[in-house]
Amino acid sequence: MDSDLEDFVFYGTPIEREEDSTSRKKKAIAESAGQLRTLPAWKQEVRDDEGRRRFHGAFTGGFSAGYYNTVGSKEGWAPQTFKSSRKSRAEFKEQSILNFLDEDEKADLEGQFLGTSSQFDTFGFTAAEIARNQAEKEQKQRPSVIPGPAPDELVIPATESIGVKLLLKMGWSRGRSIKDSHADSLYDARRQARRAFLAFSSNDTKVKVSESEPTQDDNENFPEQPVDDNVQSSKSTPVYVLNPKQDLYGLGFDPYKHAPEFREKKRSRLSSKTGSGHSKNFSTRDSLFGFKSGKAAPGFGIGALEELDAEDEDVYATGYEFEETYVQEEVEEPAKLTLENQKKKDQKDKDNLPGFRVASNSDYKMERFEAPRIPKDFVPRHAFSGPLEINRQNYEVPPSDVPPPEDSNLKLLIEGVANLVAKCGKLYEDLSREKNRSNPLFNFLSGGTGHDYYARKLWEAQQKSNDQTRVQLDGKMPPCVQKLTAESRGQILGEKPLQKTSEPSSSVSSTDIQLQYNLIDTFTKSASFSDLSEFEKPFKADPAKQERFEQFIKEKYKGGLRSGSSSLAGNMSEDARAQERLSFEAAAEAIEKRKQGRGSKLSIPSSTDFITGGVMEFTTGAVEPTKDQPDVDFKGKKMYPKREEFQWRPSPLLCKRFDLIDPYMGKPAPAPRIRSKIDSLIFTSDSVKGTKVEEHMIAMKDISPLQQSANKDINKSMAENETEEEVKVEVENVERPVDLYKAIFSDDSDDEGEDPYIKKVENQEKKAEVANTALSRLIAGDFLESLGKELGVEVPPDTPYPTQKSGKDATNANEYAKPDTSNGENNSVVSLKHDLSHDQHIAHEGGHSKGDISYGNKLEIHSIKTKGTSISDNKSSKSNGEKSEDDRKVKSPLVSNQGYISSSEDERSRKRTSKYNREKYEYRKTKTPSTDRLDYRSSSLSEDERSRKRSRHHRHRRRDTGSDSSSDDERDRHNSRSKGRRREKSSREKSSGSKKHSKHHKHRKHESPSRSSHYSMEKDDAHSRKEKRRRE
Amino acid sequence: MSAEDLPQKEVNVLKGHEGGVLAARFNADGNYCLSCGKDRTIRLWNPHRGIHIKTYKSHGREVRDVHVTSDNSKLCSCGGDRQIFYWDVATGRVIRKFRGHDGEVNGVKFNEYSSVIVSAGYDQSLRAWDCRSHSTEPIQIIDTFADSVMSVCLTKTEIIGGSVDGTVRTFDIRIGREISDSLGQPVNCISMSNDGNCVLAGCLDSTVRLLDRSTGELLQEYRGHTNKSYKLDCCLTNTDAHVAGGSEDGFVYFWDLVDASVVSKFRAHSSVVTSVSYHPKENCMLTSSVDGTIRVWKT
């Protein structure tokens, strides 16, 4: 604009005015003088003497309103259309004259409004006005979080009107209504009418109810009148409680809406912070009112058109307002002074007139004392200078046995001190050493004479105390204890007590790493008893009884679920069983004692004496075994029902659909269910199955000795015929798959299952054969690999230790140490445990215990050396070497039988394992119509053929399940070993693929002796090894 | 409940099936019943009025078992065609077919939320099928059975299957355990007691056995009927006071739950009584038979 000024011509002399107005003036002059004339009409504007535009809109006249005499704006004419949506409602602005006034005009108007002075402001309008102005001003100064002008409801006049003042003077108090008789009468009339109506509409009883209800409000009831007034007033005249908004909640949001106690608490906390008695006082009043006003709020059930009056409220009121106010006051005190509170409350209850309340700040004050000052260097935890418990790890290797010193006094002293130290801990040792430093008698403590003996004694004492504690733990649980102690509960739940074993070799690692999913782990006996039965056979004379005893021992130390009825002793009479049980108990105790004695070698002779005596004693109990030979019927009946428990993994989706939490959540992937797939893949001849089942059923019925059938003989002969028949059919049916198996597995089985000794011998003649089969094996290997991939076979367990290999074999060996690996639970446990724990100690053990631990592998490797060139051996060696990785995949057949850690599928493992109750196993197998085809087939083959077949069959199954129990391995090995002896014959048979259908039906059981001899051999082996380890 | 209160009076005969009826089942509230049979159909009845309401045809072979959701909106059925059919009750259309069993399917059940069908098959497996997703693959295959699974029961957390291998296996989803109770005799039919604590197992040695589920104890054996070759049902009455079971000679037996005495027996059908189903609340029972009829019995 200033630049425009040069163009203009000025007339006259400008009159000097204030500095700020000069420019405007100039402009105005210019416009008025020159421009106005030059500009077109629509551009001319009316200005005042100071150059300001005077007329706006309509004032500029007619059409020239708007943008430069047009309508609309610079952008064009945009009519203000009506817009209203659900989200943005049309705005209705309330207009007042002030909206259309300029600031100066407003300033002019200021003070010219008529208003009541605050002195006569009866209705508080002026005060409200002032307050609003004030609020606006304040808002301008510091804009609040909430945008927009402060709502009027928030701005409340601060002064009291003269009317209020007058009323107050007249005795009216805040919160009361100004009640007139007219209202009451009106109310009465209405109530009467209602009552009449009710009486009309319903029967009498109801009327009575309704009559009794409003008595509170009756005018005649004067004592209650004030209460009513109080209640009524709460809404008749609004009582504004000046309650500054101090929180950060939204407007109108009351977090304590349904829990007013908390509000009080908070407030009291706040007020106690500020510490003023006034605020406390204030809060009580507030709460009182707040409570009251809240009373009217829940108005449901009251007609919308009906006035909210006293009667309506009473419908839902409890009618005991005073009590509630007490509660409020009580809560207001901080909660920690409960005692004080109690006292107060009592007082209140006693002598508080209605309408009065106890002074909030009484004279009585609790006396408080300062907390004692803590010295700066105080450490809140006391640490003993020495470890309280002697580190047991130190004594992993017990100190050597030393002859006691000649001085008997010294010996006594040493023993006493050792006992004390063992009992009281290392601290005692330290203390006594400190105290008796000068005393030459105590030299042994600090390495003087007799120190070795002391160390030995100390160790012994510790062992003793440990054993005692453990015995307390273990021995406390006789099978029929009624009382459920923490230990027993833990045992039932499968928790493992913290072991304090004297031989920390295996237990340490096993307790350290404990996965949850092998809970059954904990069902095994504590490690100290694991090897008990191998050297302890008090009932050697009577195998049946011995078996029962073992069962008993197992159950005793196993904890966990008892297998209900002892199936073994099912035929015994009640008292005979009880007697036997007693003898078993005693024997077990004796064994235990002997074990302790073993811990401290000094007491061995006596304890063995005891044992022998004990055995004598026990064998007297072996009178009844005459009854032991069970007649099949009885036993068969008693056996059922039989409960077994296995692990089972529900799929996550199933859990989800059942709305349950997956118990295996986060656990490694389950063993893939390949079985079914492979079954359908390989047993393509499934359709034949249907017709076979009945035959199977019958056949198996007479095979299993346990099963009782009424017409045994007929059945038997029938079954014989049928089985024969069926065997033929089966053979035809299954022939192909078996051949496939052969193509895939045959040589592997040879490689793997072969006892190396024999292998060596046979190597020469075998070479040609091997060379022939090598090619097919390679192909088979590839095939399997791809198969495995296709099926997504993965093996669950992680094998982090590179020493896995030796560990595996050792575990296999250890397997024999177990007294009974009959059921699947045990088996899987064992293998799992081995996987976790045994690796370590076996790894270091591998050093001194030579061939027998890792004989499987070492010898295998050895044999490889002798073999040299054959491809198969390369392969096997490779697989052996890379076992740690290969273990995880079921890729190659060689690896697959090296022992997978059995995972969840106990059922499978149960089926597979149990060399001890092979009977059962056979029985089971015969029961299944489809899976036992191989068995049936094998039963028709020659014995050695069959044993090999079985091993193969097992392997196949194992592959199927993707899990494995090492014991199975071992059996395979045995099988193949025994087979190996007869190999010259059998290999030929096999290679020619001949199927001899000789009937070996009955023969089945006869083969067991040879095998069992193997077992016993193995057992001895393992036993001796165990012994060795213990001695070390 | 005394023996007189047992449903022994024939109220209605539901005729319509051509050929034997293999199963008859009340729905959850007992107002309707479903039957299935050798004529490859499933039929919906009102047994109290004796009215045939609807027929569901789609199966290719005989239908062996049928179950309805608790909201009566869906059916599942199975049979000789190795498939499980998932039906819409109102329209009578098949919503989904689940294939996967390698043999005939002997039994089906919905779970509590009707989201899973569990089927028991001749292929020695229990399979769980998902009704929620569109997948026709089983969620889970339980193949620990050693022989044909004849019957399946579901609780909120467990799957219970009875098999010809003589076991009643309980699969607890919550703790991931399988509990196998071996009875030594082929198990034909299992049914839960109404309190859920016991399992009734009908065995092929003409014995019905009652097992305690928590301990696996054999509580009682019920004999007197013949059941040697057919798949016959047995069930407990609504009050758990009696055991009801069919027989191959056309009789229906009632045993006292506790002392195993035959409280009542009467000739219900001319031929094998394949199925008995007890009303969940009232004293009303359904029997179905190979003679092609379903009979409704009341007190």
**Short-list A163, A217, A173, A172, CA closest to A192:** A217
**Per-residue pLDDT tens over the stretch A766-795:** 555 555 555 556 555 555 665 556 555 544
Contacts of A651 in chain B (CB under 8 A): 128, 139-140
Extract the tokens encoding A48.
């005042």
Mutate to test the interface with A, among B158, B175, B178 (most CBs of A within 10 A): B178
Continuous H helices in A704-818: 712-753, 756-790, 804-817
Contact criterion met (CB < 8 Å) for B103 and A690: yes
How many angstroms separate the CA of residue A676 from the nearest CA in chain B?
8
Same domain, A123 and A161: yes
**Per-residue pLDDT tens over the stretch B151-203:** 999 988 889 999 998 889 999 888 888 888 888 888 989 998 888 888 899 99
Extract the tokens encoding B89.
């009750």
Question: Does residue A359 sit within a domain?
Answer: no
When comparing pLDDT for B208 and A1002, which is higher?
Answer: B208
Same domain, A958 and A1017: yes
Same domain, A185 and A245: yes
CB atoms within 10 A of CB B118: 28
Question: Does residue A764 sit within a domain?
Answer: yes
Question: Does residue A356 sit within a domain?
Answer: no
Q: Is the pLDDT of residue B204 over 80?
A: yes
Same domain, A132 and A225: no
Extract the tokens encoding A285.
């009043």
Rounded to whole angstroms, the Cα distance separating A803 from A821 reads 25
Same domain, A241 and A343: yes
Handedness of CA A599, A603, A605, A609 (dihedral sign): negative
Region B16-29: mean pLDDT is 89
Contact criterion met (CB < 8 Å) for B216 and A643: yes
CA B70 to mean position of chain CA atoms: 15
CA A1009 to mean position of chain CA atoms: 50
Contact criterion met (CB < 8 Å) for A660 and B102: no
When comparing pLDDT for B53 and A747, which is higher?
Answer: B53
Query: Do residues B288 and B271 make contact, with C-beta atoms less than 8 angstroms apart?
Result: no
Is the Cβ of B219 closer than 8 Å to some Cβ of chain A?
no
Q: Is the pLDDT of residue A854 over 80?
A: no
Same domain, A841 and A967: yes
Q: For chain B, which residues make up each domain, given as ranges?
A: 3-298
Contacts of A648 in chain B (CB under 8 A): 142, 144, 171-172, 176-178
**Helices A756-790 and A855-867 meet at what angle, rounded to 10?**
100
Range(s) of the domain holding residue A784: 714-1031
Task: Kindly state the helix (H) or strand (E) to which residue B277 belongs, with its residue range.
Answer: strand B273-278
pLDDT confidence band for A376 (50 / 70 / 90) = confident
Same domain, A564 and A629: yes
Same domain, A164 and A223: no
Sheet holding B158-163, edge to edge: A642-647, B177-182, B167-172, B158-163, B149-154
B3-298 homologous superfamily: YVTN repeat-like/Quinoprotein amine dehydrogenase (2.130.10.10)
Extract the tokens encoding A7.
């163009």
How many angstroms separate the CA of residue A517 from the nearest CA in chain B?
9
Same domain, A432 and A533: no
Contact criterion met (CB < 8 Å) for B140 and A640: no
Given A624, A639, A654, the domain boundary residue is A639
Extract the tokens encoding A16.
């000097």
Residue A986 makes CB contacts below 8 A (sequence gap 6+) with A942, A944, A945, A948, A979
State residue A19's pLDDT score.
57
CA A545 to mean position of chain CA atoms: 44
Neighbour-count burial of A655, counting CB atoms closer than 10 A to its CB (0-12 exposed, 13-18 middle, 19+ buried): buried
Is the Cβ of B148 closer than 8 Å to some Cβ of chain A?
yes
Is the Cβ of B34 closer than 8 Å to some Cβ of chain A?
no
Contacts of A659 in chain B (CB under 8 A): 113
Sheet holding B9-15, edge to edge: B9-15, B293-298, B284-289, B273-278
Lookup result for tokens 């270091």: A844
Contacts of B177 in chain A (CB under 8 A): 645-648
**Per-residue pLDDT tens over the stretch A25-63:** 566 565 555 555 667 776 776 676 777 666 665 555 544
Question: Does residue A846 sit within a domain?
Answer: yes
Nearest residue of A to residue B144, measured between CA atoms = A907
Rounded to whole angstroms, the Cα distance separating A149 from A131 reads 13
**Per-residue pLDDT tens over the stretch A70-112:** 555 666 666 666 777 777 777 666 777 777 777 777 777 766 6
Q: How far is CA B157 from CA A646, B127, B129, B142, B210, in A?
A: 17, 16, 16, 15, 21
Q: Which of A241-250, A463-472, B2-11 is least confident?
A: A463-472
Select the residue of B113, B143, B177 nearest A676 (Cβ to Cβ).
B143
State residue A529's pLDDT score.
41
State residue B65's pLDDT score.
92
Is the Cβ of B71 closer than 8 Å to some Cβ of chain A?
no
Rounded to whole angstroms, the Cα distance separating A677 from B70 reads 34
Contact criterion met (CB < 8 Å) for A641 and B183: yes
Quote the percentage of chain A above a pLDDT of 70: 23
Query: What is the SS3 assignment for A901-963?
Result: CCCCCHHHHHHHCCCCCHHHHHHHHHHCCCCCHHHHHHHHCCHHHHHHHHHHHHHHHHHHHCC
Give chain A's mean pLDDT: 55
Rounded to whole angstroms, the Cα distance separating A805 from B266 reads 69
pLDDT confidence band for A925 (50 / 70 / 90) = very low
Nearest residue of B to residue A637, measured between CA atoms = B184
How many angstroms separate the CA of residue A551 from the nearest CA in chain B?
20
Question: Does residue A754 sit within a domain?
Answer: yes
pLDDT confidence band for A212 (50 / 70 / 90) = very low
Quote the percentage of chain B above a pLDDT of 90: 15
Q: Is the pLDDT of residue B45 over 50?
A: yes
Contact criterion met (CB < 8 Å) for B178 and A645: yes
State residue A247's pLDDT score.
75
Contact criterion met (CB < 8 Å) for B128 and A644: no
Contact criterion met (CB < 8 Å) for B165 and A927: yes
What three-state secondary structure class fits A822? coil
Is the Cβ of B137 closer than 8 Å to some Cβ of chain A?
no
Q: How many structural domains does chain A have? A: 6
Query: Do residues B276 and B247 make contact, with C-beta atoms less than 8 angstroms apart?
Result: no
Given A351, A383, A416, the domain boundary residue is A351
Q: Which amino acid is at B10?
A: E
Task: Kindly state the helix (H) or strand (E) to which residue A1019 belongs, with its residue range.
Answer: helix A1008-1031
Same domain, A142 and A284: no
Contacts of B103 in chain A (CB under 8 A): 689-690
State residue B76's pLDDT score.
92
pLDDT confidence band for A624 (50 / 70 / 90) = very low
When comparing pLDDT for A108 and A681, which is higher?
Answer: A108
Q: State the count of interchain CB pairs (< 8 A) between A and B.
A: 130
Nearest residue of B to residue A660, measured between CA atoms = B174
How many angstroms separate the CA of residue A637 from the nearest CA in chain B?
8
Q: Is the pLDDT of residue A284 over 80?
A: no
Given A619, A639, A659, the domain boundary residue is A639
**Short-list A368, A450, A369, CA closest to A406:** A450
Contact criterion met (CB < 8 Å) for B180 and A673: no
Question: Does residue A804 sit within a domain?
Answer: yes
Region A180-191: mean pLDDT is 60
Q: Which of A3-7, B49-53, B124-128 is least confident?
A: A3-7
State residue A908's pLDDT score.
44
Same domain, A59 and A108: no
Extract the tokens encoding A88.
């943005």
When comparing pLDDT for A557 and A311, which is higher?
Answer: A557
How many angstroms separate the CA of residue B15 from the nearest CA in chain A?
32
**Per-residue pLDDT tens over the stretch A939-948:** 444 444 444 4
Same domain, A756 and A861: yes
